[in-house]
Structure 1
């Protein structure tokens, strides 16, 4: 009987990342007082700055008439208080065992073969390389996104206790770490790697509590996640994420940053997130095209169904997508 991909196949994520929430303080104070960072609303009168049709842009009278129109906007904004210069960001990451066993599979023969492939990878390559790359992306504070760009310094602490009493890694300036390389020698990254690897192997229960002290400047704007509002009748042109009065970032945004480890795609120039098609929405590009047989499904199916193991880098990539979790079954209609 020819083995076929299961029509129902899903994996739970092995890195359980929480939302991140924002606090603030004054770093120059003798006894810094930490307080929540909240979302405010403001209304502004903007100018017309979008690209206009040629008939309007080339007619001074029509252009002046267009410019006279009010561009009124109500937007959410997040900024440090006038007496605070440091953004505090906290989140947690639970590292669950990765054994290759799917959470759902409707074909036992396929599941057995899949697990044997993953077990072979774990025995041969192991998860050390993936763990190091995840650790590097925690340590370098890539997950701060735009907040990282505007920071003077970023002090990072990773603990095993929520109160920070058991720090396992302390990075004096996360901004000094490279975002494009994963081979830097750093004791903090080494310690994080050990913890993540132990969690993925199921050797211990691992919960990492991450805290970043981001020096931004007094009263400076900071950048929580922006909500996707599907209701066209919205009264704001920008809505920022908040929960229980705290500004925050979505777990999906943090997760994307942590799994930005794929440097194995064709003609790689920079790391991208481990995604089935190598999708980078900000660039509007899929870096792993099925026609090149470098996408997740081509590599995964060839490995499991045909025993054609890809090279070491592509093996890491395939396992990173499984660790990410998702639904990977084949359509029964094809």
Structure 2
């Protein structure tokens, strides 16, 4: 019998298919008041010298003064509510697709059979209730608003699915570091996500947040990564047809921030193969510790070494995330 090896071509499609989020605005003091789009505007600013300087300049008063006098002219994008509006409205949708463990692409049928069997056993033993609940809480707590959440006085989140609408009147009551919340609305949203992942029902969620941030206050869409070195602006914000928005990848990262199963976890991180958090420059799941996705996944599929229950959840969450996981023959 041929020894089972990881397929060299192996890819999974994401099972939480999330759209971009777009921004509107209104006034909370007006019931059913007018709603308008949040626009991106361009500003020209003169910045000050604030970067670290070489010691020869920093320790020389005349040279430092000369640097300070230099104009640091910049063009930047900005987004803010109008002065008559205090509420940011953000909307996006999420299709919850069936999770069976079936790869989108796999060039080794023996490996694929072993993989699908492992996932089927996990689903039979645990189901997807734990993962669905964590996704539901991250929708309800408005984690996906990122910096806009921090600067909000209050946030209301509504989730519509078919004829059913769930209203989370106070998103901030859900602690970002806890998945112990278990109210009726969380249970209902969990059940919807569960149905979608198990394929028992077609599920598409329409999510809307209303965050009171203050009249005329700045809001924070996604920032574009500009690879062209000849750019004319130092900051470019994401927009479609002049409407400010947030990338689907950024929303998705927040929704899958459910992994508090890594060693010495103090807060949840996004389910990623190496537990990477780019804003901290740190990978929380090191291959040396055998707690990264590939170590756990390969031992489980190839050697039938079933990891602890929490690590099983992590592996499945990474598969639901989707990605290319094949083993290259090159080192």
Find the aligned partners of 1:190 and 1:60 in 2 and give their Cα distance.
Answer: 64
| 3-state secondary structure, aligned to 1:119 | helix
> What does 1:242-281 correspond to in 2, within 5 Å?
242-281=239-278
State whether structure 2 residue 192 is matched by structure 1 residue 195: yes
In 2, distance between residues paired with 1:274 and 1:305? 22
Q: Does 1:104 align with 2:105?
A: yes
Q: Counterparts of 2:262 and 2:256 in 1: how far apart (Å)?
A: 14
Could you tell me which residue of structure 2 aligns to residue 59 of structure 1? 60
Which stretch of structure 1 is more off in the superposition, 29-38 or 300-309? 29-38
| Structure 1 Cα separation of the partners of residues 247 and 185 of structure 2 | 25
User: Once the two structures are superposed, what CA deviation does each residue of 1:148-196 show, in whole Å capped at 9, x if it has no partner?
Assistant: 00000001100015xxxx3431111101211001011222211110000
After TM superposition, the structure 1 = structure 2 runs for residues 168-317 of structure 1, keeping only pairs within 5 Å, are 168-317=165-314
Q: 1:77 corresponds to which residue?
A: 78
Point out where structure 2 has 5 or more consecutive residues left out of the alignment.
Answer: none
Q: Distance in 2 between matches of 1:187 and 1:217?
A: 31
In 2: Cα distance, 1:38 partner to 1:214 partner: 17
Aligned pair 1:321/2:318, yes or no? yes
Q: Which residue of 2 aligns with 1:23?
A: 24
Q: Give yes or no for the alignment of 1:141 onto 2:138.
A: no
TM-score (norm 2): 0.98
Residues matched between the structures, number: 330
Alpha-carbon distance in structure 2 between the residues aligned to 1:190 and 1:295:
30
Deviation track 1:240-275 (CA, whole Å, cap 9, x = no partner) reads: 000122100000000000000001111111100000
1:134 CA displacement: 0.4
> How far apart are 1:333 and its partner, in Å?
3.0
* Mapped contact 1:168–1:188 kept (Cα < 8 A): no
Deviations 1:103-128 (A, max 9, x none): 11000110001000000000001100
Q: How well do the aligned residues superpose, as a CA RMSD in angstroms? A: 0.8
The aligned counterpart of 2:14 is: 13
Counterpart secondary structure, 1:298 = helix
1:284: how far off? 0.3
Aligned structure 1 segments of 4 or more residues deviating by more than 3 angstroms? none
Secondary structure at 1:315's aligned position in 2?
Answer: helix
* C-alpha distance in 1 between matches for 2:151 and 2:280: 21
The alpha carbon displacement at 1:26 in A equals 1.0
Q: Deviations over 1:69-120 (max 9, x none)?
A: 0010100000000110000000000000000100110001100010000000
Please say if residues 157 and 167 of structure 1, whose CA atoms lie closer than 8 Å, have aligned partners that are also in contact.
no
1:32 aligns with 2:29: no
- Structure 1 gap segments, 5+ residues each: none
Q: Secondary structure at the match of 1:157?
A: strand
- TM-score w.r.t. the length of structure 1 is 0.97
Q: What's the CA shift for 1:30?
A: 4.1
Distance across 2 between alignment mates of 1:102 and 1:332: 20
SS in 2 for 1:48: coil
Task: State how far apart, in whole Å, the 2-side matches of 1:285 and 1:245 are.
Answer: 35
Alpha carbons 1:154, 1:172 under 8 Å: kept? yes
